[in-house]
Amino acid sequence: MASPFPYTHYACSCSDLTSITPSFTANKRASTPSRDIDVAAENRTFNPHSPRAPYFLYPLQNLLFCDECDGIRCPRCWTEEVINWYCPACLFEVPSSAVKGDGNRCARNCYSCPLCSAPLAVSAAPQSRENGNALLKPMNEETYMLQCQFCNWSSLDIDVRLTKPTKITEQLAKQRMARSPPSKDKKTEVADKSKHGRKDIPSSDHDNAFASLNTFYREQLNQAGDSQNPYSNSPYSSPANLARIMSLYGGLSVNALKKSREKPQPMREALSPNEGFSAFTPDDSDTVDWMIQKLESIPWSSTAELAQQLSSPQNNDAKFVNQLWPVATPLRTKRGKRCKTCRQFLARPDPKVGSLKWKIRLLAQNHVPRLSIRLHNSDKPISPNYAFCLRPDDLIDHGLLKPLIAQQYVLTVRNPIFETIKVTLATPAITPGRVQSRVTILCPSFTVGPAGDVWDDALSINTTSTSAPNDGSRRAAMASLTGREDGDSRQPEAGKIWEKTRNSTSVIVEIVPGHLDSPSSVVPKDDLGNVRNEEEDYDVLEVPIYVRAEWEATVQEDSSEKMQKERVVGEKVKKEIAGWCVLGVGRIRA
Please determine, for residue 253, whether its predicted confidence score (pLDDT) is greater than 60.
no
In a domain, 570, yes or no: yes
Q: What is the mean pLDDT of the chain?
A: 77
**How much is the pTM?**
0.70
Domain stops at, among 297, 332, 359: 297
CA geometry: angle 120, 125, 126, nearest 5 deg: 140
**Whole-number Cα distances in Å, 429 to 372, 412, 426, 438, 543:** 20, 20, 9, 6, 10
Please determine, for residue 44, whether its predicted confidence score (pLDDT) is greater than 90.
no
- Tell me the range of 37-41, 177-181, 250-254, 425-429 where mean pLDDT is highest: 425-429
Q: Output phi, psi for 143, to 5 deg.
A: -110, 160
Task: Please give the single-letter amino acid code of residue 515.
Answer: H
* SS3 sequence of 346-410: EEEECCCCCCCCEEEECEHHHCCCEEEEEECCCCCCCCCCHHHCCCHHHHHHCCCECCCCCEEEE
Residue 557: strand pairing partners: none
Contact 143, 163 (CB under 8 A): yes
Domain stops at, among 297, 313, 334: 297
Q: Output phi, psi for 32, to 5 deg.
A: -115, 135
Task: Please give the single-letter amino acid code of residue 474.
Answer: R
What burial letters (b/e) apply to 451-479, b meaning 16+ CB within 10 Å?
beeeeeeeebebeebeebeeeeeeeeeeb
Average pLDDT over residues 535-547: 86
Q: What percent of the chain has pLDDT over 70?
A: 65
- 418 with 279, same domain: the answer is no
Specify the pLDDT at position 384.
Answer: 53
- 262 with 382, same domain: the answer is no
Nearest to 501 by CA among 449, 538, 437: 449
CA distance 93 to 130: 45
**Whole-number Cα distances in Å, 576 to 38, 73, 250, 292, 579:** 14, 16, 66, 71, 10
Contact 167, 144 (CB under 8 A): no
- Tell me the range of 20-34, 52-66, 474-488 where mean pLDDT is highest: 52-66
In a domain, 199, yes or no: yes
Q: Are strands 499-500 and 345-349 parallel, antiparallel or unpaired?
A: unpaired
In a domain, 359, yes or no: no
Is the model more confident about 512 or about 278?
A: 512
In a domain, 356, yes or no: no
**Total domains present in the chain:** 2
The stretches of 501-576 forming alpha helices (DSSP H) are 561-566
User: Other CB atoms closer than 10 Å to residue 393's CB: what's the count?
Assistant: 9
Average pLDDT over residues 113-141: 72
- 288 with 376, same domain: the answer is no
Length of the chain: 590
The pLDDT tens digits for 303-342 are: 999 999 999 988 988 889 999 999 999 999 999 999 999 9
- 548 with 427, same domain: the answer is yes
> Which helix (H) or strand (E) segment is 25 a member of?
helix 22-28
Contact 482, 469 (CB under 8 A): no
In a domain, 529, yes or no: yes
CA 154, 159, 165, 170 dihedral sign is negative
Domain stops at, among 297, 316, 348: 297
Domain enclosing residue 382, as ranges: 7-55+369-460+501-587
User: Other CB atoms closer than 10 Å to residue 264's CB: what's the count?
Assistant: 12
Specify the pLDDT at position 136.
Answer: 46
CA distance 453 to 486: 29
In a domain, 222, yes or no: yes
In a domain, 231, yes or no: yes
Residue 122: strand pairing partners: 146
- 535 with 455, same domain: the answer is yes
Torsion of CA 449, 453, 457, 462, to 10 degrees: -50
Average pLDDT over residues 446-454: 85
- 387 with 292, same domain: the answer is no
Looking at residue 265, what DSSP letter applies?
A: P
Specify the pLDDT at position 195.
Answer: 44
- 192 with 277, same domain: the answer is yes
Please determine, for residue 30, whether its predicted confidence score (pLDDT) is greater than 50.
no
The pLDDT tens digits for 364-408 are: 999 999 999 999 876 554 555 555 555 555 544 446 888 999 999
In a domain, 486, yes or no: no
Burial of 100 (0-12, 13-18, 19+ CB in 10 A): exposed
Give the confidence band of 103 by pLDDT, cuts at 50, 70, 90: confident
CA distance 114 to 124: 20
